[in-house]
């Protein structure tokens, strides 16, 4: 089976990595819209338009399913995308919510959601977690972590200063939803900031767990992956070779 993976840029590679480590598909076609990243600062109409253009891109590949490995797109565009495709399209928000729910029993646990401005404003994580009974939720826009990851900066003083800026008033949470697929690339620094106490929920691992629950079965062999970018192919290749 051939799976498409779509993100605004390099972040979806964190989902691709999970699907390489726990293979489910023989072939991965990855598309990062690096010409227009970040999506998280855009309006919902623009995010939907870009997502529909990604569907047109994937029309060239005869894919069996698509993972929207972008929380921002998953928050706004899944219904429009599904109306244009004749294969299943999976987002990353529902899997992330289920992963957290499976791992955290205490409904009063202190949950921190971090994501782009668009994802946080959509309230998708917050509303669904509240429906499941979680009551102690903080949502925080940490969109500057997206360009820093696209720059290939995953450690060091600039990143640490950014984490201090975002987290200085935040109490150490029990769990953090990395509600942007770029964030696992800086997960080590985020974990360290909070002395590695919080459980980190990662979209890639959550999607793999979700697909297994949907009846997809593991394969023995690593998938073949082909990576496409709408701009800065060299930059994406560098991040891919580091991360994958
Ligand atoms: N990686 C994306 C996400 O999961 C979006 C980052 C962006 O383009 O702003 O939300």
pLDDT digits (tens, 9 = 90+) for 3-24: 999 999 999 999 999 999 999 9
Please give the structure tokens belonging to residue 136: 């102690």
Reported confidence tier of residue 243, pLDDT bands at 50, 70, 90:
confident
172-176, 195-199, 233-237: which range is least confident on average? Answer: 233-237
Reported confidence tier of residue 120, pLDDT bands at 50, 70, 90:
very high
**Which residue, 161, 206, 216, 157, is CA-closest to 184?**
206
Q: Is the CB of 190 under 6 A from ligand 1?
A: no
Q: Is the CB of 40 under 6 A from ligand 1?
A: yes
Selecting among 180, 207, 208, 229, the annotated active-site residue is 180
Three-state DSSP class for residue 26: coil
Do 145 and 44 belong together in one domain?
Answer: no
Do 86 and 118 belong together in one domain?
Answer: no
Please give the structure tokens belonging to residue 36: 């227009």
Q: Is the CB of 198 under 6 A from ligand 1?
A: no
Residue 98 confidence (pLDDT): 98
CATH code at 110? 3.40.50.1860
Q: Is the CB of 8 under 6 A from ligand 1?
A: yes
Q: What is the residue with the minimal CA distance to atom 2 of ligand 1?
A: 70
Do 51 and 136 belong together in one domain?
Answer: no
Do 187 and 155 belong together in one domain?
Answer: yes
Do 176 and 162 belong together in one domain?
Answer: yes
Mean pLDDT taken over the chain:
97
Residue 153 confidence (pLDDT): 93
Question: What average pLDDT does this structure show over 175-202?
Answer: 97
Selecting among 16, 55, 70, 207, the annotated active-site residue is 70
Atom of ligand 1 nearest to the CA of 182: 1
Do 225 and 169 belong together in one domain?
Answer: no
Domain holding 64, by residue range, is 2-91+205-243
In order, the DSSP letters of 161-173 are HHHHHHHTTPPPP
Q: Ligand 1 mean position to 152 CA, how many Å?
A: 15
Tell me the C-alpha distance between 2 and 14, whole Å.
18
Question: What average pLDDT does this structure show over 207-214?
Answer: 97
Do 108 and 198 belong together in one domain?
Answer: yes
Reported confidence tier of residue 70, pLDDT bands at 50, 70, 90:
very high
Question: What average pLDDT does this structure show over 22-33?
Answer: 98
Question: What average pLDDT does this structure show over 107-135?
Answer: 98
Instruction: Indicate if the pLDDT at residue 36 is higher than 90.
Output: yes
Question: What average pLDDT does this structure show over 89-106?
Answer: 98
Do 104 and 194 belong together in one domain?
Answer: yes
Give the count of domains, the chain.
Answer: 2
Q: Ligand 1 mean position to 32 CA, how many Å?
A: 10
Do 196 and 134 belong together in one domain?
Answer: yes
Do 41 and 73 belong together in one domain?
Answer: yes
Q: Is the CB of 146 under 6 A from ligand 1?
A: yes
Question: What average pLDDT does this structure show over 160-174?
Answer: 98
Q: Is the CB of 96 under 6 A from ligand 1?
A: no
Tell me whether residue 70 is one of the annotated catalytic residues: yes
Reported confidence tier of residue 200, pLDDT bands at 50, 70, 90:
very high
Reported confidence tier of residue 242, pLDDT bands at 50, 70, 90:
confident
């Amino acid at each position: 089976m051939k799976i498409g993976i779509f993100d605004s840029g390099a972040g979806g590679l964190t989902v691709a990595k999970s699907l390489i480590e726990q293979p489910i598909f023989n072939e991965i076609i990855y598309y990062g819209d690096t010409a227009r990243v970040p999506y998280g600062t855009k309006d919902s109409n623009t995010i939907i338009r870009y997502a529909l253009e990604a569907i047109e891109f994937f029309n060239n590949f005869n894919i069996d399913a698509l993972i929207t490995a972008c929380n921002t797109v998953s928050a706004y565009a899944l219904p429009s995308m599904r109306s244009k495709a004749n294969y299943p399209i999976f987002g990353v928000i529902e899997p992330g919510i289920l992963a957290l729910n499976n791992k955290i029993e205490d409904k009063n646990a202190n949950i921190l959601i971090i994501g782009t401005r668009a994802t946080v404003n959509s309230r998708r994580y917050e509303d669904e977690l509240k429906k499941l009974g979680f009551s102690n939720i903080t949502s925080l826009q940490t969109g500057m972590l997206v360009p820093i990851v696209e720059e290939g900066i995953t450690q060091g003083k600039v990143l640490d200063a950014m984490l201090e800026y975002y987290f200085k008033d935040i109490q150490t949470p029990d769990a953090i939803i990395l509600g942007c697929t770029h964030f696992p690339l800086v997960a080590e620094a985020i974990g360290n900031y909070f002395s590695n106490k919080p459980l980190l929920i990662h979209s890639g691992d959550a999607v793999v767990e979700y697909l297994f629950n949907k009846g997809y079965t593991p394969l023995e062999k690593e998938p073949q992956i082909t990576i496409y970018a709408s701009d800065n192919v060299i930059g994406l290749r560098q991040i891919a070779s580091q991360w994958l």
